[in-house]
Structure 1
Amino acid sequence: MKFSHLMLPLLALLLSAKLFANPIAADAESVSPLLNGEQIPAVMLKDSSGKVVDLKNLIAQKPTVLFFYRGGWCPYCNNQLGQLKEIEPKLIELGYQLVGISPDSPEKLAASAGERKLDYLLLSDANMDAARAFGLAFFTSKQTSDAYLARMKLENPLFTTPEGEPRLVLPVPAVYIADKEGLVHFQYVNPNFKVRPAPELILTAAKLAATKA
């Protein structure tokens, strides 16, 4: 019994530390993303069929081009999905797999993949665990939250700000290239969601990273 009493404060401290280890940024410009030379974090996601996927185990299978996007409702994201589809054969030739992560539900991922005839893997990060672990998650403003929820009819769960206000949380769009050991060789993160890296840039970075792996 004494052991249990001693352990309770420690468990509470550990849970608290885990909760605040990857805080949600106040806005897109305040994120602290994972950088080159760092390791891909351990996180569990779901594919379009609802199957749980261990991201580190997935990346251990082959070098990976991993990208975060806001969702299938975002026109800039849809344009990027198409651009990546075009260069996927060249990435496969280089030995890579292409993986996309967004807050979309598995059902919405399946719809996006079917509509755009995507062959690469899309993963659901509805709880923003991956976005937080990568340091990409941020609170949208109240105006943006209200507008997106109303106009786009989003079903994303809301998160509470430090001030106690419910807000929509999104990932800053990003691209990561990692080897099978999970080491990041390239990262592109831009808080301006309208600007995405050119496919040629991603291919060039993938080729350079392949020579170092």
Structure 2
Amino acid sequence: MTLQSKLDAFKADFEAGKPPYNVPYSVIGTMRRATAELIASGAAHKALKAGDRLPEFTLFDPDGKTVSSADLLAHGPLVISFYRGVWCPYCNMELQALEEALPKFRELGATLVAISPQNPVNSRKSIRQNNLSFPILSDPMNNVAATFGLRFEMQDYLVDLYKSLKNDLPAFNGDRSWTLPMPARYVVGQDGVILYAEVNPDYTHRPEPEDMLPALKLAASRRDAV
């Protein structure tokens, strides 16, 4: 079963209000409105693309250790997944799919990290609940996401909806910005050039992990040729 088929099945049950979700249709309508507006804004077209250079970053892992993009690239190609948070079931299913594909990434010499605005406590929770063997790096206020062109500010009506659903992002993230990253996936070669980029303002759609393998094979071949 593909990642997207799992996401589609979850979405169908969620929007149908099946237990345990029991979500009113008004909530579904608000979520659809927010997604449609983000798509229409063209924000995704402004995000970094294949051929662009990776913005250098240094973030903290869940144990409080600093992790820099330079150190990660020193070991080989880099796979980056921008993750909204432990509260997002679509993101959690994506992380699980990436974990399943991780052996293939490692065979090609690649390192995988996720980047999230959530605080380290919630990153540790995400890792534990999803049985991950790769780190989730904390990106306060989505500042690194902003350098990728992924950060967006939530509309007031969407903030109100999140509050009504007890999705208190300031508590999850440790800041009051009410911003999120658009879900995104990147493959970066050791020279710092982005080889693969997938950004989707519709959080219910995610690429398959295997879609990155051609870019990772290219990165591996370039490394072997040096």
* TMscore range, shorter length: 0.7 to 0.9
1:99 aligns with 2:113: yes
TM normalised by structure 1 equals 0.78
Equivalent position of 1:30 in the other structure? 43
Equivalent position of 1:7 in the other structure? none
206, 209, 214: which one aligns with 1:196: 206
SS at match of 2:149: coil
Which structure features the higher share of helix residues? 2
- Matches of 1:188 and 1:175 in 2, distance apart? 5
State how 1:74-153 maps to structure 2 within 5 Å: 74-151=88-165, 152-153=167-168
- Matches of 1:203 and 1:150 in 2, distance apart? 40
Offset at residue 139 of structure 1 (A): 0.9
TM normalised by structure 2 equals 0.74
**What are the Cα deviations for residues 114-144 of structure 1, in whole angstroms up to 9, with x where unaligned?**
1222111210112211101111101111121
Equivalent position of 1:65 in the other structure? 79
Structure with higher Rg: it is 1
- Matches of 1:123 and 1:42 in 2, distance apart? 14
Structure 1 unmatched ranges of 5 or more: 1-25, 160-167
Equivalent position of 2:196 in the other structure? 186
Offset at residue 72 of structure 1 (A): 1.3
Moved over 6 A (4+): none
CA contact (8 A) 2:190 2:219 kept: no
- Matches of 1:174 and 1:149 in 2, distance apart? 25
Q: Against the structure 1 CA distance between its residues 78 and 90, is the aligned structure 2 distance closer, same or farther, given a 3 Å change threshold? A: same
- Matches of 1:94 and 1:112 in 2, distance apart? 26
CA contact (8 A) 1:65 1:177 kept: yes
- Matches of 1:53 and 1:146 in 2, distance apart? 34
Q: How many residues align?
A: 180
Offset at residue 68 of structure 1 (A): 0.5
61, 81, 85: which one aligns with 1:47: 61
State how 1:155-166 maps to structure 2 within 5 Å: 155=171, 156=173, 157-159=175-177
SS at match of 2:141: coil
Structure 2 unmatched ranges of 5 or more: 1-36
Equivalent position of 1:177 in the other structure? 187
CA contact (8 A) 2:78 2:189 kept: yes
Q: Which amino acid aligns with 2:82?
A: F
CA contact (8 A) 1:60 1:181 kept: no
Offset at residue 171 of structure 1 (A): 0.4
Q: Against the structure 1 CA distance between its residues 57 and 150, is the aligned structure 2 distance closer, same or farther, given a 3 Å change threshold? A: farther
Q: Percent identity?
A: 38
SS at match of 1:135: coil
Q: Against the structure 1 CA distance between its residues 46 and 150, is the aligned structure 2 distance closer, same or farther, given a 3 Å change threshold? A: farther
**What are the Cα deviations for residues 148-201 of structure 1, in whole angstroms up to 9, with x where unaligned?**
244223323233xxxxxxxx1100111110112211111111111110001221
Offset at residue 212 of structure 1 (A): 4.0
